[in-house]
Structure 1
Amino acid sequence: MFQGKAHAALISAPGSGQGKSMVTAALARLHRNAGLTVRVFKHGPDYLDPMIQEVASGQPVYQLHPWMTGEEECRWRLAEAAQEADVILVEGSMGLFDGSPSSADLAILAGIPALPVIDAWGMAQTFGAVAQGLANYHPDLAIHEVIANRVGSPGHGKLLADSMPESIALLGAIPRNEAMKIPDRHLGLVQASELSGLDAQLDAAAEVLKEAGLGRLPKLVTLSAETPAPVPDYLNGVRIAIARDDAFAFIYRANVDVLRAMGAEVSFFSPLTDHQLPECDALWLPGGYPELNAARLSANHSMLEAIRAHHRAGKPILAECGGLMACVEQLVDGEGESHAMLGLLNGTAKMAGKLTALGLQSLHAGAGELRGHTYHHSLLETTMTPLARTRKLAGSEAEPIYRERALVASYFHGYFPSAPKLVADIFTGQAISINNG
């Protein structure tokens, strides 16, 4: 049994684009700079926000989602964190009640209050009505206070404070400030590794919040959960090399953890800068931004040949989304330039200039149900026949799963702890028994 106490809140908003990611990061840095241990979690399938939150908090960030990661794991990760952390912040996704399960569902499950960030741009007394509506929408969700963001002046802030209903407090009014802005691109925030001066910006953002009165800690809560059962050592002694650089960075920490828990020996390499693979029995090419790095990837001939040789030798490869794009014959980037890729799979991946797939999905097989999601802005033109297709929980159509020798490739991103045996079968080249029922 895990149990601990911590000051905790789920940072959400009425909708996307209200600034909750940067507010969460600035809050984490504010409390960290005050000498407290801060743990941040992210609701839902997101790779980019956690990169920023890890820099802000100085601690690892894990995903929480009652469907994808499971309710028991949500409780366990929070309770485990509460044993050592003074403050726990969970960054929500989209709007507070958007999706199923929503950020609000996670807050209710965990027993922590929600702390909405409301963009006050162009709003005065209506701010209080929005706060009251969020607080009253679900009887099981606790909302004690809200944050006003992008406030124009002290006078504007006073209007917002005066509009608040008696049962809800205004924690603080954050003024418009360059320190609170982080650039984004088609898949979300720019990767933390690409942002020079991020630490200094987070310190500056923390000062903005401190001056706005946001230094008060969230409510103290008790978090408890059962100890999870150990995972079997399905991958005992298997050496897995994972691509990790600016082109391949969409990696859940929990995925690497469960590989190691199953006995795998994990190493990392860069398809952009390294010339040879580490000694390995299997490869994982995760998602990322191969389309932004296609020229460099295509020019690294020795690495491409090393991966081709690995495939020719019949060794397993798992290629997810960006990894799939690297495995086909050609990749056409956003500028229309074509780049030669690995050629392990028939076809061309083309950037579409718009979102082409989004949603929660799962792969059902005899060895388990691998849960995850799809999210991409490219299309695959191929004559290949899929081995299987995922099932969609919500959003886009099911994604094809392709298999060529011991290579398994798809736009689908899997959350490995949801189906350890199936993941182990992929990394050891076993046949996959698909459950189409």
Structure 2
Amino acid sequence: MENTAPATQSTSPATEDVTPAMEGTSPAGATDFDVTSDWHVASPYEFLRRLRHERPVFHSEHLGAYVLTRHADVRAAYADPRRFSSEGSLTISRSLAAETRKVLGDHGSFLSSFVANVDPPTHTRLRRSVSRAFTPRAVTAMEQRFRRLNEEVLDRVAPQGGADFVAELGHEPSAKLTARFIGVPEEDEEFVKEHVKDWFMLFLSPQPPDRQLVLARSFLTYLDYVDKLVASRVAEPRDDFTSLMTGLIGTELSHREVVELISTILLGGNDTVPNQLGNSVLRLLREGAWPPAPELIQNAVEECMRIDGSSLGSFRYALTDIDLHGVTIPKGSLVLLSTDSAAHDETVFPSPESFDPRRQNADAHMTFGYGIHFCVGAALARLQLRTALEVLGERLPGLRLVPGMRITYRKSIVGRGLPSLLVEW
């Protein structure tokens, strides 16, 4: 999902199996975002509703950014790169301690040439190159491979009668599909998984300075691995995405652009898509909608992304003074496009806190972004979510939450993901 961005659940009636940590909403007196709090990710919707109604253009001291909260404004900003620039929006060395920035060196501006972090004409060139690997035919061809990966995991885990969904069921198929697509050897998959997790923690989750240093060194190790993978495919091309991209080095792409592209796709397969699957399974189980009816699965996927999106928004920079709803966003300001708020905008989604797998406009969410930065891998992500839910529903129709479990989310700036989800069948 291209919509991942750095800077800094929907609530339904509580059940006996879910603790207040899961259901805790934003405090009634909350006056700003707080990425260190549980409610920032778990359930910010009362706070976001107040912003939509009272301060649709909000300056957050905590984020150091202006925040757009209404669906129409978020969509318009995505569609207007002449005023809302992506250039440098993912470059977040500004949020790291001085010693961490020193360790990272030039890599403190990592993603500076990634497709989601640039404007046209650079964006046009990069997206054209990447899109060659995500044709409808290529995406469809991956469905059976992904189904088999899910079946293999269930063959191994189903006899246990229970598992941590995140660690044992939800992550592996997506990670393996992405690794094979990229060309990562099977013996390196665990290495990639662990280092991608560290990357997420460093750039997308608040960390103390000492922990930042540990994560930064892990990140540099990961970058070195990807750099060597790219170099190996330059020397000896194979039938994989890395080879396809390295074939464009010198004509359409630079070596660094290929490294950043591959690194970020691996993040999506190891983090963003598995996060969304975990969020979706939790939502379906909480709503008593398991297993999802076959004819509703595709729309249920969209409704789960709307109500419990794995991405909370994207950052942009104002290229000029922007007047909106009586507020002037000064030129050069950082702006958060809150897709999380937009997905709960009651003017677009009636009863937005209610889960409705039959909702006719469920796909009007912007979890994948919008406009020129609409995620190039969106079709593949949707295929993975739908296929995983189909296989899980067929094989584990009695799937249920472990009673009394405490459900929490990872603390994050703009991502929603579960570190653990205990289930049984």
Q: TM-score range by the shorter chain?
A: under 0.3
Structure with larger Rg: 1
Query: Under a length normalisation based on structure 2, what TM-score does the superposition of the two structures give?
Result: 0.24
Query: Under a length normalisation based on structure 1, what TM-score does the superposition of the two structures give?
Result: 0.24
Which has the bigger relative contact order, CA under 8 A and spacing at least 6? 2
More helix by share: 2
More strand by share: 1
